[in-house]
Amino acid sequence: MIAILDYGAGNLRSVQLAFARLQAPTFVTSSAEEAMAADGLILPGVGAFADAMDALRRSGLVPALEHARDSGQPLLGICLGMQALFNGSEEGVGVEGLGFVPGFVRRLPDTAGLKIPHMGWNDIRAEKESPLLEGLPREPYVYFVHSYACFTDDPKDVLTSTEYGVRFCSAVQRGNVFGTQFHPEKSGKVGEQILKNYLRVVEQGGR
């Protein structure tokens, strides 16, 4: 069963409904013990980086996330949940992220003709093979809502990239730790396929 982590800064309902459409059992929890016992973890996130990290640490769920990273339990961060996997963000100077993926989150540049936040459909380009991308078109379109974007220290951690004023990491994979800057739960058939792929990873024990 998949645990959706509730730390007060996540869009839980839409993620729950997306998995329900796939007839995949999930439960929402703010208990680290329950999360550690799950087959996989979803870390959603909306709002500002500093507030989210403060809420996450106060929730007591960080040990469950560290357990996932170290045990091979598949972990998927969505939107701000992906940004939380990084070392830090310009949106919260001096606030430490989880540090699961070496890198930093920076504000998207003000570019003529492009609105910030980046809101709407854009393509993603695969940068490496991954079970999370199986069955997708070559450059599928997904749904974004964000003003800050992730940049990895190691290019090998970039799963997909997207161009919006600058080329940024739109999905990440470091071992069993995955993240999507876009919202798969709002990305139609493509997002549905990504969630199906994540479920398959969970069924295979993180491989």
Catalytic residue numbers read: 79, 183, 185
DSSP assignment of the chain equals -EEEE-SSSS-HHHHHHHHHHTT--EEEE--HHHHHHSSEEEE---S-HHHHHHHHHHHT-HHHHHHHHHHT--EEEETHHHHTTSSEEGGGTT-B---SS-EEEEEPP--TT--SSEEEEEE-EESS--GGGTT--SS-EEEEEESEEEEESSGGGEEEEEESSSEEEEEEEETTEEEESS-GGGSHHHHHHHHHHHHHHHHTT--
CB atoms under 10 Å from CB of 29, counted, come to 18
- Residue in this structure with the two tokens 């994979």, named with its chain if needed: 173
Q: How far apart are CA 107 and CA 86, in angstroms?
A: 14
- Residue in this structure with the two tokens 């993620």, named with its chain if needed: 15
